[in-house]
Each structure stands twice: as structure tokens, then as C-alpha cells.
Structure 1
């Protein structure tokens, strides 16, 4: 089933052929107040994610929650980069 997105009705993409690069990563730290750091392909901290994780930490969320959310964001960034490359959007 094709579910068109507004403005992308004529874009065809076969996700079964999509190759998602394993770029970036999640680093575990030894710091109690910043237990995880999401890094990009260059190894630099992804600042918007760091701010989000600090907010979760301040709200009293357990480290496991921070890790889970950070891994979800890492997967999303990798997928987005792969789909942008496949569609030629310069991502």
C-alpha cells in the first residue's frame, strides 16, 4: 500500500533496497549527569539531542530511558540520511 505524503505524491522509493550507513553512534560516559552522548559521523556531539537528554535527565527519567531514546534518535538520523541520499536531497 502506498501512502502519499503531501508534496511527494510522485516520488517513488523502494525502501527494500535502502542501505542505511552505520554512521554516528551512542557513547556511554562515566558522568552521572550525562550518561550518554550521541555523536555524528565526525564524532562530534549532536547538540540538540544532548539538550533533549539533559531535559529527560532533569525530569528524573532513568538512564535506561535516556539510552533508549538516544538509540531511537540515532536510528532515525541514520534512516533519514539514507533516504535523503536515495532521493538526492543532499542529506
Structure 2
């Protein structure tokens, strides 16, 4: 569950053979918790808030005519730390 998104920054923009490429960084506060059909926690901790630093590299799909669906993730990285409240 994503609680907050902050510090969104356009790191890089470049036109390449594939088309326009953007690198975007941002931070999120989120809870990582996976439950089974019975609602039991099988992975993660529902009471632990994590701060995650993301970098997404996006490319514009030149064959997609719908501009809302045309950006594809080429690569992403994520680094998380426990948020102490």
C-alpha cells in the first residue's frame, strides 16, 4: 500500500533511436505486506512503514497512438529503508 509519494524529479530526458527516454526519481512511503486468501500475512509486516527511493527509466512507444498508454518502463531501481515514526 502506497501512503505517500514525494520528491518527484526529472533526472534526465533524451531522444534516442527508440524515441524519447525519461529518467524520473521519487520517494514513496509504503507498507509491504502480502496476504493469502484467508487474510493471513504470508510476507512483510503490515505495521512497518518503508521509505523507498525509486528511479524509473521510461521510453515513449512510438507505435502506441493513445498518449496515456504510450510510456513503457525500460528499467527501474528501488532502495528501501525502514521509516522510524
* TM norm structure 2: 0.27
Instruction: Flag the structure with higher strand content.
Output: 2
* TM norm structure 1: 0.26
